[in-house]
Structure formats: structure tokens, C-alpha cells
């Protein structure tokens, strides 16, 4: 979760200000509080600037040629200035930023307290600078259990050290300066030459050197850098007020990017699927919802059974994963810890791992035997939208490739891209905006769908919940009568996904059932029906209906969020990459 960033430079004394800029590019990882530390020849200790709240419009007076910084998503200890990073040693000479959770921090802290160290925060992270008072960096990092990434700045040695296990960390190489960041995208404005730290590696960096170490042996290792792809402008707002609406609007181009150059990857993945005995999609949140849509697509299109497991639950299902099994990890960031741990457990059982991720060189990308990129470009908004669309497009093509109908499906996706484009840029966009005005002060919203549209109901509900804070729930239409219909009252809004397929009659009956109990029924369907109080027309695109059905819900979430004064890009309590268990 938290974002960490560091610059050490020979060029100018503006490292703290530049670290703040770098942190702004990582803020989607956490935005409860922020902080930076630097060194100055005029001071005996590190200089710290930190505060609660977001980084927007924040400036710093600190100057120095080295700085480390942090943007926090609180785990241990509330959102206070004291709990904001960096944390320091007793005498303030060592400053540390940390991403992750130190599982054994209580034990370490008790010992440090006994030794007389004074703690200023409630965080687990603060044990690190205190331990560094008596031990070298690698020894300290090896004392920590859990999944962690740490950067330490030491006034006494003038060194910066960093290491990781589990949580991501990337080294960037510049001219007369070097960098560290928890995400490669934050380095793009500075350099394209990077090294992705592996687990159990440590690095010592100065403005003109980067030295890599093996944490277990303490030995030096050779560094092989890679070149980042992409452009800074890909991640800029250009003309949009928020990333949410920008990224929703980019969806037609995302589908087209997959149409244009996804074939080779999809053929390779399909070959692996054909060879496997038992395929599992694993993902969290929106990625899990995409997996559910994939389960239906594989069944309907390719007559093939695929299992779905949510990342956080998969470890309890791992016993029957064996050498013949295939686990396909779905993830935008490639850094979601529950998905990573699932993959690692499956790997241990001998399974083959495939990953479909958006971020090149991310942990899930690197852990996989076969991999495919989503080609969605940087997704900055905490809400996953275009990455969902990319996953759906890929699974649609994969299912068709399995039955030798790739070409046909690829051609059909052109039509889907046009429909998505038309929806976003045409009159229906305005219709959804007006609907948002009607729904914004509701307390509850329910969504129902059958078959593949069950995934739409879950994903639509997730979008509403995370950005409007309205209680929203998605149900399989047929399940309502088994209890949840008790929730429907006069005026309760219910979104009904009714593609014109084998689920149509069933879901219309369910719509009638809720209507009879007073629901305000919003139908997302190619056909209008008397039961709908509001009809949002989507084109009949058969087995690809998931791809168009979700667009009205994404737009609705955006406009409802605006009406309710919620930040569309950085909803409360959330972070884009969930890198803690």
C-alpha cells in the first residue's frame, strides 16, 4: 500500500521538493499522510517535514541533495502526524520510510523499550530506526518478519539503504543521481533505466553508485537493468477533471490495443490452458469480478470449466492444486498481496502460473511461467475501470481462441469498441448523468443479473460502493427470493442487467418481483420493457455483453460521486494497490 520514494543527487539541493513531486505520482498507494526527510550540513540530525492529509498543493522548505519520502495508508496506528513517516532513531540521525507490515514488531519493540529506546509513534515501522542504532541495515532487515520494503537514510554514514521482501521497490538510474520508488511509474518522469529489486535483496545507493546485495549471504550481486516502456503523458490528466472519467473514456482504445496486438499472447495462453488439468482464475476485487465473467465466457463460448477463487481465499483451496493445474492470476497492479500469495502457494504445489497484469515487471508478471499484459496504460484512479475492460476483452478472445474462432471474435470486438465509444460520447452519457441526479441521495442500491450479468451486478455494486459510499449490493437475480428481497422497499433503486440472451426471461421475472415490492427499476438492456422505470439501452452484443453493461455503472458511479462531494480518484479508506494482507 504506502508509497515510498527517494532521490540522491549531485545536481542541485532540491531533492526534498522533487521527492514530494515523486510522491504525488505514488499517492494512489495511500493518502492518509505524507512525509519527507533530508540531510543538511547545518544540522546534527535528519530534517523531517511531515503532515496528515493529502499531498495536493503541499510544498516544502527543506533543501538537500538527498531525500526520502512516504505517502501512507494507515495499518498500525491512526492517521496522525506522529504516525506519519519518516520515523527516526532516538537521536534523529536515522530516518526510515516503510511499506508493509512487520509481523514481529511487538516483540522487537518490547526489547527496544527495555533497552531504553523512546518511541514517538504507534506504528510498527518505528522499530526500524531504533534497531538501526545498534545494527547494520542488512542485519536489521533480516530481523523483520512479514512483507516489507524499507528505505533508510543515515546522517552518520551519509548512506541510503533499501531492501524488500514481498512489497515492491524499484531502483532508477539517472545522470549524477539515482532514485528508489515503490512503483516504476513514479520513476518515468526521471528515467527509463531501472532495476526491480527481488525479494531478499538490499541496495546501497549514492548519487553515482548503486550496489546490490543478497540479504541472505550479504554478498554483492550484479545488477541487470531494464528499460521502462511508456510515456509520462500516458498518466497525465490532459483535458479531464479526474482520472476516473479519463480512464473510463479510454476504454475503446484499450479494447483496440488488444485487438491490434494481443494475438500472440492469447494463442500462447490458450495452448497452456488446453494442456492443463484444472484452471483457476485468481484475483481480488474487480479482478475477481472479471474472473467471474471469464468463468461464464469460458463455459458458454468454449464449453470449458474454469474455477474462480478470490485471492484472499485461495490459500484455503490450495490442497487440490497439483502439478497439472494452471493458475491464472488477474491483476492490474501485479502487486496485490493476496493474489501473489495464492500464486506462490500454487507454485509450491507444482502448478503452472500464468498472469494477466497491467504493470510490466510487476511481481505477478515476474512470478508467472506465461504472461500477458493488459495493454491498458497507467491506471491512476483507485477504481479499476479500463483494466477491467481489458481483462474482459482478453478473456473473450481467449475463450474463442480455444475453439478456433479467434478471428471472428477479434472482428466482433471492433463492434464492441464502437458501442462503448458511442455510449461514452453520446446521448446515453447524458442520460446516465441525469440518472445520477435522481439516485445520489439514496441510501441503498441493488443490482441484479443472471449468468454472466451476475458479474456485472457485483462489479457495478463495487464501483458505487467504493466511490459514493452508498450501500450497494449485487445479486444473482434468482437468489433474491431466498432472502435478500426482504430489503426492497418503496422507491429502492434496483439496476437490472437484461441482455437479450438466455437469461432475459428469468431476470425480467426477477425485475417484476422487486417492482411488485415498490422498487424503482433501472433496466440496462438492448430492449425496453414495461417493468423498467428507466431504460438504459445498450447494443445487443451477445457473449460480449459484460463489456458494454459495465459502462453505464462506471459513469453512474462517477457522477454520483461528484454529486455527493466525494473524490472520484481517491476514495476514503482505500489505496490502489493492496500490498498488505
362 interacts with ligand AGP by CB under 6 A: no
Minimum distance from residue 334 beta carbon to ligand AGP (Å)? 7
Distance (Å, whole) CA 387 – CA 333: 9
Asked if 336 interacts with ligand AGP (CB under 6 A), we say: yes
Find the binding residues for ligand AGP in span 454-473 (CB under 6 A).
462, 466
Of 319, 322, 296, give the one whose Cα is nearest residue 307.
Answer: 296
CA dihedral (456, 459, 462, 468) positive or negative:
negative
Closer by beta carbon to ligand AGP, 172 or else 291: 291
Give 497-559 as a DSSP string: E--SSTTHHHHHHHHHHHHTTT-EEEEEESS--TT-SEEEE----GGGHHHHHHHHHHHHHHH
Complex with ligand AGP: residue 424 or 578, whichever CB lies closer: 578
Q: Does 383 bind ligand AGP (CB under 6 A)?
A: yes
Tell me: does residue 248 bind ligand AGP (CB under 6 A): no
* Contact window for ligand AGP (CB under 6 A) among 27-35, 72-80, 279-287, 312-320: 279-287
C-alpha closest to that of 175 among 191, 197, 153: 191
577, HSE (Cβ side, Cα atoms, 13 Å): 33
| Complex with ligand AGP: residue 88 or 342, whichever CB lies closer | 342
Q: CA angle 42-47-50, nearest 5°?
A: 155
Q: CB of 76 within 8 A of CB of 108?
A: no
Piece in contact with ligand AGP (CB under 6 A), picked from 209-217, 223-231, 278-286, 393-401: 278-286
Nearer to ligand AGP, 174 or 285 (CB): 285
Q: Which stretch binds ligand AGP (CB under 6 A): 74-82, 140-148, 331-339, 495-503?
A: 331-339
**Choice between 429 and 463, CB closer to ligand AGP:** 463
Q: Is 221 considered catalytic here?
A: no
Distance CA 253, CA 248 (A): 10
Given a contact cutoff of 8 angstroms between Cβ atoms, the answer to whether 368 and 359 are in contact is no
For the bound state, the minimum distance from the C-beta of residue 285 to ligand AGP, rounded and expressed in Å, comes to 2
**Comparison of 147 and 382: residue with beta carbon closer to ligand AGP:** 382
**279 contacts 294 by C-beta, under 8 angstroms:** no
Count of residues in contact with ligand AGP, rule CB under 6 A: 16
Q: Pick the catalytic residue from 2, 6, 284, 566.
A: 2
Bond into 86 cis (ω within 30): yes
Asked if residue 333 binds ligand AGP (CB under 6 A), the reply is yes
CA distance 256 to 201: 39
Please state the closest distance from residue 381 (CB atom) to ligand AGP, in A. 8
Q: Distance between CA 187 and CA 339 in Å, rounded? A: 25
Q: Which of residues 62-101 bind ligand AGP (CB under 6 A)?
A: none
Distance of CA 436 to the CA centre of its chain: 26
Among 331, 492, 549, 579, binds ligand AGP (CB under 6 A): 331
Binding characters for ligand AGP, 559-578, by CB under 6 A (x = yes): ------------------xx
Q: How far is CA 340 from CA 28, 146, 155, 335, 343, in A?
A: 20, 14, 36, 7, 5
Whether 284 is a known active-site residue: answer no
Residues 6+ apart with CB under 8 A from 112: 119, 127, 130, 131
Among 382, 395, 447, 508, binds ligand AGP (CB under 6 A): 382
Distances from the Cα of 332 to the Cα of 176, 187, 375, 394, angstroms: 33, 18, 10, 13
Decide: is 286 part of the binding site for ligand AGP (CB under 6 A): yes
What would the grid cell of residue 181 be? 520508488
CA dist 328 and 365 (Å) reads 11
The residue behind cell 445498450 is: 538
The answer to whether 38 contacts ligand AGP (rule: CB under 6 A) is: no
Catalytic residue among 24, 50, 515, 576: 576
Q: For ligand AGP, give the closer residue by CB, 67 or 374.
A: 374
Q: Could you tell me which residues come within 8 angstroms of residue 139 by beta carbon, excluding any fewer than 6 positions away?
A: none
Of 126 and 456, the one with the shorter C-beta distance to ligand AGP is 456
Q: Applying CB under 6 A, does 291 fall inside the site for ligand AGP? A: no
Place of cell 502457494: 345
Q: Residue 499, class by beta-carbon neighbours within 10 Å (0-12 exposed, 13-18 middle, 19+ buried)?
A: buried
Q: Are strands 33-38 and 47-52 parallel, antiparallel or unpaired?
A: antiparallel
Shortest approach of ligand AGP to residue 496 CB, angstroms?
Answer: 22
Span from 49-57, 285-293, 301-309, 527-535 in contact with ligand AGP (CB under 6 A): 285-293
332 binds ligand AGP (CB under 6 A): yes
Q: Identify which of residues 4 and 458 has a Cβ nearer to ligand AGP in the complex.
A: 458
Q: Is residue 125 part of the contact set for ligand AGP (CB under 6 A)? A: no
- The stretch near ligand AGP (CB under 6 A) out of 313-321, 366-374, 377-385, 398-406 is 377-385
Q: Which is nearer to ligand AGP, 99 or 178 (CB)?
A: 99
Q: Where are the beta strands (DSSP E) in 317-465?
A: 326-331, 352-357, 370-373, 444-449
Residue from 273, 287, 445, 495 that binds ligand AGP (CB under 6 A)?
287
By CB under 6 A, residue 395 contacts ligand AGP: no
Q: How many CA atoms lie within 13 A of 371 on its CB side?
A: 18
Q: Residue with CB nearest ligand AGP? A: 285
Smallest separation, CB 388 to ligand AGP (Å)? 8
Choice from 3, 285, 493, 523 touching ligand AGP (CB under 6 A): 285
- Stretch near ligand AGP under the rule CB under 6 A, chosen from 42-50, 378-386, 472-480, 528-536: 378-386
DSSP 359: S
The Cα 42–Cα 373 span in angstroms is 49
Backbone angles phi, psi at 487, to 5 degrees: -80, -20
- 2 binds ligand AGP per the rule CB under 6 A: no
Dist CA 428 CA 25 (whole Å): 33
| Residues contributing to the site for ligand AGP (CB under 6 A) | 284-287, 331-333, 336, 339, 382-384, 462, 466, 577-578
What is the set of active-site residues?
A: 2, 576
Amino acid at each position: 500500500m504506502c508509497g515510498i520514494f527517494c532521490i540522491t543527487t549531485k545536481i542541485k539541493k532540491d531533492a526534498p521538493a522533487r521527492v514530494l513531486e515523486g510522491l504525488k505520482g505514488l499517492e494512489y498507494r495511500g493518502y492518509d499522510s505524507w512525509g519527507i526527510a533530508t540531510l543538511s550540513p547545518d544540522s546534527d540530525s535528519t530534517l523531517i517535514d511531515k503532515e496528515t492529509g493529502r499531498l495536493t498543493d503541499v510544498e516544502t522548505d527543506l533543501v538537500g541533495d538527498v531525500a526520502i519520502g512516504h505517502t501512507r495508508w494507515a495499518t498500525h496506528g491512526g492517521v496522525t502526524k506522529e504516525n506519519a513517516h519518516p520515523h527516526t532513531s532516538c537521536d534523529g540521525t536515522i530516518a526510515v520510510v516503510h511499506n508493509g507490515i512487520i509481523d514481529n514488531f511487538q516483540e522487537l519493540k518490547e526489547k527496544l523499550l527495555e533497552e531504553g529506546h523512546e518511541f514517538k509513534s504507534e506504528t510498527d515501522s518505528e522499530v526500524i530506526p531504533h534497531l538501526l542504532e545498534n545494527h547494520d541495515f542488512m542485519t536489521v532487515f533480516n530481523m523483520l518478519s512479514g512483507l516489507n520494503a524499507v528505505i533508510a537514510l543515515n546522517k552518520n554514514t551519509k548512506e541510503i539503504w533499501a531492501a524488500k521482501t514481498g512489497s515492491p521497490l524499484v531502483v532508477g538510474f539517472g545522470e549524477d543521481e539515482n532514485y528508489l520508488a515503490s512503483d516504476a511509474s513514479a520513476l518515468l518522469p526521471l528515467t527509463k533505466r531501472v532495476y526491480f529489486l527481488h525479494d531478499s535483496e538490499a541496495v546501497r545507493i549514492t548519487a553515482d553508485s548503486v550496489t546490490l546485495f543478497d540479504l541472505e549471504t550479504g554478498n554483492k550481486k550484479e545488477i541487470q537493468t531494464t528499460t521502462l516502456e511508456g510515456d509520462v503523458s500516458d498518466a497525465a490528466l490532459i483535458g479531464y477533471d479526474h482520472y476516473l472519467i479519463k480512464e473510463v473514456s479510454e476504454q475503446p482504445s484499450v479494447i483496440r490495443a488488444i485487438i491490434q496486438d494481443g494475438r500472440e499472447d492469447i494463442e500462447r495462453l490458450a495452448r497452456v490452458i488446453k494442456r492443463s488439468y484444472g484452471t483457476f482464475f485468481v484475483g481480488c476485487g474487480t479482478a475477481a469480478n472479471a474472473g467471474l465473467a471469464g468463468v461464464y465466457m469460458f463455459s458458454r463460448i468454449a464449453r470449458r470449466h474454469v474455477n474462480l477463487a478470490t485471492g484472499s481465499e485461495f490459500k484455503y483451496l490450495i490442497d487440490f492444486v497439483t502439478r497439472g493445474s494452471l493458475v491464472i492470476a488477474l491483476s492490474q497492479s501485479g502487486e496485490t498481496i493476496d493474489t501473489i500469495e495464492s500464486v506462490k502457494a500454487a507454485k509450491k504445489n507444482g502448478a503452472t502460473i500464468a498472469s494477466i497484469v497491467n504493470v510490466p515487471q510487476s511481481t505477478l508478471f515476474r512470478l508467472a511461467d506465461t504472461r500477458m499484459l493488459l495493454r491498458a496504460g497507467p491506471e491512476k484512479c483507485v477504481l479499476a475501470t479500463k483494466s477491467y475492460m481489458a481483462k474482459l476483452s482478453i478473456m473473450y478472445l481467449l475463450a474463442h481462441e480455444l475453439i478456433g474462432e479467434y478471428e471472428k471474435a477479434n472482428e466482433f470486438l471492433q463492434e464492441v469498441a464502437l458501442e462503448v465509444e458511442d455510449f461514452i460520447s453520446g446521448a446515453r452519457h447524458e442520460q446516465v448523468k441525469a440518472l445520477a441526479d435522481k439516485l445520489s441521495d439514496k441510501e441503498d442500491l441493488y443490482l441484479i443479473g443472471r449468468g454472466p450479468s451476475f458479474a456485472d451486478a457485483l462489479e457495478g455494486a463495487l464501483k458505487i460502493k467504493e466511490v459514493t459510499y452508498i450501500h450497494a449490493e449485487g445479486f444473482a437475480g434468482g437468489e433474491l427470493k431466498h432472502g435478500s428481497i426482504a430489503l426492497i422497499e418503496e422507491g429502492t433503486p434496483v439496476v437490472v442487467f437484461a441482455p437479450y440472451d438466455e437469461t432475459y426471461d428469468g431476470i425480467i421475472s426477477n425485475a417484476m418481483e422487486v417492482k411488485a415490492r415498490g422498487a424503482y427499476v433501472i433496466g440496462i438492456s438492448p430492449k425496453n420493457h414495461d417493468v423498467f422505470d428507466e431504460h438504459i439501452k445498450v447494443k445487443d452484443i451477445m457473449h460480449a455483453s459484460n463489456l458494454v453493461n459495465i459502462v453505464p455503472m462506471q459513469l453512474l458511479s462517477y457522477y454520483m460521486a461528484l454529486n455527493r462531494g466525494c473524490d472520484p480518484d481517491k476514495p476514503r479508506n482505500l489505496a490502489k494497490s493492496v500490498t498488505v494482507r
